Amino acid sequence: MQSLVLAGDDVSANTKGERALLHARQPLTAGELPEGLRRRAFISFNTSVYDLRAAAVSVLAASGPELGFGSFQDGSRIIEEFVARDEVFTSFKAEMHWRQCVRDSVELCDAFHRLVREVICPFLKSGLDGDAPRTFYYQFPPTLRLQPGPSEHKRRLHRDAEYGHQPGEVNFWMPLSNFSKTGTTLWVESEPLKGDLGPLEIEYGTIAMFHGTVCRHFVPANPSNFTRVSLDFRVGVDEFYDPAWRLAGMKTARGKKGGPPGSHGREVCVV
């Protein structure tokens, strides 16, 4: 199996999570995730069938003013024109509130569940050997991220192992706003420690898949006058994922289905 500690990793021990990994037991799995699922890939989907952007606009329009985190101005429903407060990007507490808003949105959750079950899981299964049914453990609710601009705030370089994620998980990231408007996006390296960080210059209707547990990534500041909006989640892959594993000593937002408000847990999909 792939170790959670990477030799020569100059990021290790710089955070509580990375220090915890130095002494953590490894997840109990059948081995290393197949190479094809560790490589970056891009998946297209039908935005008319899975209209996550429209669902997100509904969430923002209703919950933004209610929670005091932002609002649309002058009747606009253009997602990049949502005027958000800095807290939605800089505060974990605010992120937890947004996560609960996503969980409460029937429209967004329905589109998300269908996308994962009808597009994402079949795509992952195609990268595995054999035709036997496979079990996938996907994050729910997904994380809706807002990055208002112009701002100097950014997301630091990190890998998700420090937050309690394991090598049997794959990251999925999709823009809901237009990259052509914000000019800001997620940057990811292609392999662990390779250092070849590059921008995911994709638009709504495309999903980027990458091995974010061990591949580092970051988001630069948003210099535009628009708000960047994206949705991301992770999927644990069959016998390469240990659903019972936890990183000891770390408080993470992960939890079991039915966890505390704002937490995200796992749903199971068999295909």
Rounded Cα distance, 34 and 229, in Å: 31
pLDDT for 67-103, tens place per residue?
A: 999 999 999 999 999 999 999 999 988 888 888 999 9
> What pLDDT shows up at residue 24?
87
Rounded Cα distance, 254 and 220, in Å: 25
Check whether the bond before 150 is cis (ω within 30° of 0).
yes
Residues 59, 101 contacting (CB under 8 angstroms): yes
Q: Is the model's pLDDT at 133 over the cut of 50?
A: yes
> What pLDDT shows up at residue 203?
98
Q: Which three-class secondary structure state does DSSP give residue 41?
A: strand
Residues 245, 179 contacting (CB under 8 angstroms): no
Alpha-carbon 271 to chain mean position: 22
pLDDT for 141-164, tens place per residue?
A: 999 999 999 999 999 999 999 999
Rounded Cα distance, 166 and 2, in Å: 9
Q: Is the model's pLDDT at 263 over the cut of 90?
A: no
Q: What average pLDDT does the segment 4-21 reach?
A: 68
User: Which residues touch 200 (CB under 8 Å, ≥6 apart)?
Assistant: 173, 175, 185, 186, 187, 188, 208
User: Which residues touch 50 (CB under 8 Å, ≥6 apart)?
Assistant: 111, 112, 114, 115, 119
pLDDT for 205-242, tens place per residue?
A: 999 999 999 999 999 999 999 999 999 999 999 999 99
> What pLDDT shows up at residue 251?
59
**Which domains, and CATH codes, for the chain?**
40-270 (2.60.120)
